[in-house]
Amino acid sequence: MSEGEGYRSASIEGLPSAPVVILVGTQLGENIGTTARAMLNFGLHDLRLVRPKCGWPSIKALKACSGATEVLNAARLYDSVEEASADLRLVLATTARARDLPKPVVTAREAGPKLREGMASGHAVGVLFGPERTGLSNDDLIYADAVLTVPLNPGYSSLNLAQAVLLIAYEWFQAGEPDRPMPSRLTDRRPATKGELAGLLDHVIGELDQTEFFKTPERRQSMLKSIKIVIERARLREPDIHLLRGMIKALARRRQRSS
């Protein structure tokens, strides 16, 4: 992770917890600025930028934010979606097109309560937005728990980036603060963070490399994506991660003793 010079990276004190907004490959600085403005209107303040194509920091973003400078000042710069979402336990990804990934689909109206419920359980949550022209790639969508769509006029379904952020932020804001769920055996077992899932993936891949599971570089590349999808789709919880990693370690030790 690298921080953009010219803006400080810090949390905004005094504001309540809110969903994270992650912008991937943003092409125009103005869109980052207007996104910051849309976020602050509804109390969102954690902005994360993944490989912005407009460069960072951006004077155009500053001019377009209409005073939402605290959001820009606290924005953090990342090299990948994996890094930007590592501490999140629920990620929704916006896309206007159907994809071939097996992900649940929620509307903007459904997303507000879903994000609220996650936060009421003590989880960090976020929404992923792709480049203005192309949207998110399948490689980035892998890290999402669900795909978020906005029903629009089928004859004209064009939203700019800030408008999309504004719609989602509005639905989250309107959903209000739900009652904190009663503790149960399920809610006590928190969902795994994206960072923990990435650690499990690295562990699995490392052991598979040791056993020469991947016969060719081409097979390795294609299977890495399939394994990522399986791990994300499983919606593992933190104890599940510990159990699986313990199993992998035990199998590895047995293999080493027999070799």
What is the CATH code for 20-174?
3.40.1280.10
Q: What is the pLDDT of residue 43?
A: 92
Mean pLDDT of 38-58: 94
Q: Residues 33, 160, 88, CA angle at the centre, nearest 5°?
A: 70
Is the pLDDT assigned to residue 16 strictly greater than 80?
no
Q: What is the pLDDT of residue 186?
A: 37
Residues in Cβ contact with 236 at an 8 Å cutoff, skipping those fewer than 6 apart: 191, 192, 197, 200, 244
pLDDT band at 257 (very low <50, low <70, confident <90, very high): confident
Bridge partners (DSSP) listed for residue 191: 237
pLDDT band at 28 (very low <50, low <70, confident <90, very high): very high
Bridge partners (DSSP) listed for residue 237: 191
The ranges assigned to domains in the chain are 20-174, 194-258
Average pLDDT, the chain: 84
Q: In what order do the strands lie in the sheet with 20-24?
A: 76-78, 47-50, 20-24, 125-129, 90-94, 146-149, 105-107
Tell me: the pLDDT tens digits for 76-100? 999 999 999 999 999 999 986 656 6
Is the pLDDT assigned to residue 215 strictly greater than 70?
yes
- Percentage of the chain lying above the pLDDT 70 cut: 86
Q: Token pair for residue 115? A: 């994000």
pLDDT band at 124 (very low <50, low <70, confident <90, very high): very high
Query: Is 237 buried (19+), middle (13-18) or exposed (0-12) by CB count in 10 A?
Result: middle
Checking DSSP bridges between strand 90-94 and strand 76-78, what pairing results, if any? unpaired
Query: How far is it, in rounded angstroms, from Cα 202 to Cα 53?
Result: 28
